[in-house]
Amino acid sequence: MCSILEKIRLFGIIPVIKIDNANDAVPLGKALIEGGLPVAEITFRTAAAENAIKNICSHHPSVLVGAGTVTSVEHVKRAIDAGAKFIVSPGFNPPVVDFCVSNNIAIIPGCSNPTDIELALQYGLDTVKFFPAEAFGGLATLKAMSAPYSMMRFVPTGGIGPENLNNYLSFEKVIACGGSWMVKDELIRAGRFDEITRLAREAVSLMLGFDIAHVGINAENDEESFEIANRFANIFNMPVKQGNTSNFAGTVIEACKGAGPGKNGHIAIKTNSIDRAVAYFDRIGVQVDMDTAKRFENGSIAAVYLKEEIGGFAVHLMQKK
């Protein structure tokens, strides 16, 4: 997977944007940055697309900008000259794909059937857009269609919103989803960039799915650990589970047998994707201590601590199972 596609995977969501006035591009880029989602697919569905790409790229270089609805090599050339870093097409267009592959330009062509996928493989591609996703049967169709192609990854687009986003992202062959619900053109035309920021932040929060896994309390020894766990269990009618390094009351309270990370203990936050969460934290300036990472057998991160303590508690992320 090329570096651009890896960045897209870590974003998890690509805002698909139809823009009528190129002057709106700069405040739009700012809204996406503030919403924690600095990535944009500007579609060539309007005459303003080329200048909109140019404006975002020049004023907000931290935004990963691509061009969508690209149907000709001329579109590709204009988009790349304007600063676009990737190309998205609605269907599989051989001249467009050939030009992009020949010039080392990241291309995500639209595919809706096995024939399209096999064409993509002939061009050496490993990522395509499944479009229009919901109209063509949604996730069930994607799973069935992709079964013979273990090497191929997908960016479903079309009919995706808050109600089905995580269903798609939970499928291991999906690297990201394209959607327009947080960047509707009527919001852009009305100058409601604060609402776009809110919706982008809401989309990121939904995708990451942060939730409390448990709270760890540092005890001095095994005896004190058991007393703490047992007291919580008695008050809140929870079962006690004894372990080698800690005792649990239910699943939420962990009493550690000795001083662990954090002055008072630690708080574990579970997430749908540690990789995407770490990338999000990097974007907002929160540091993660990768030296603390624990990994699954396949090498993916199972848990990792933040570098800072909050209120005397260390904080670590846990991958939801």
Residue 150: which pLDDT band, with cuts at 50, 70 and 90? very high
Whichever domain contains 248, its CATH number is 3.10.180.10
* pLDDT tens digits, 258-278: 888 999 999 999 999 999 999
The reply to whether 163 and 278 lie within a common domain is no
Task: Give me the pLDDT at residue 259, please.
Answer: 83
The reply to whether 176 and 228 lie within a common domain is no
Contacts of 287 (CB under 8 A, 6+ apart): 281, 306, 307, 308
Of 158, 189, 208, which residue sits at a domain end? 208
Of 184, 208, 232, which residue sits at a domain end? 208
Residue of 89, 88, 87, 30 lying closest to 63 (CA atoms): 30
The reply to whether 253 and 192 lie within a common domain is no
The reply to whether 12 and 137 lie within a common domain is yes
d(CA 158, CA 138): 9
The reply to whether 247 and 192 lie within a common domain is no
**Residue 32 lies in domain:** 3-208
Whichever domain contains 14, its CATH number is 3.20.20.70
Residue 23 per-residue DSSP state: G
* pLDDT tens digits, 75-122: 999 999 999 999 999 999 999 999 999 999 999 999 999 999 999 999
Angle (CA) 135 163 285, round 5°: 120
pLDDT at 253 over 70: yes
Helix (H) or strand (E) holding 306: strand 301-310
CB 106 within 8 A of CB 5: yes
Of 164, 193, 208, which residue sits at a domain end? 208
The reply to whether 176 and 293 lie within a common domain is no
The reply to whether 94 and 190 lie within a common domain is yes
Q: Considering its fold, how many domains does the chain have in total?
A: 2
d(CA 229, CA 61): 51
Average pLDDT, the chain: 97
Helix 193-208 vs helix 274-284: crossing angle, to nearest 10: 140
Reported pTM: 0.94
Active site residues: 41, 129
Whole-number percent of the chain with pLDDT over 90 = 98
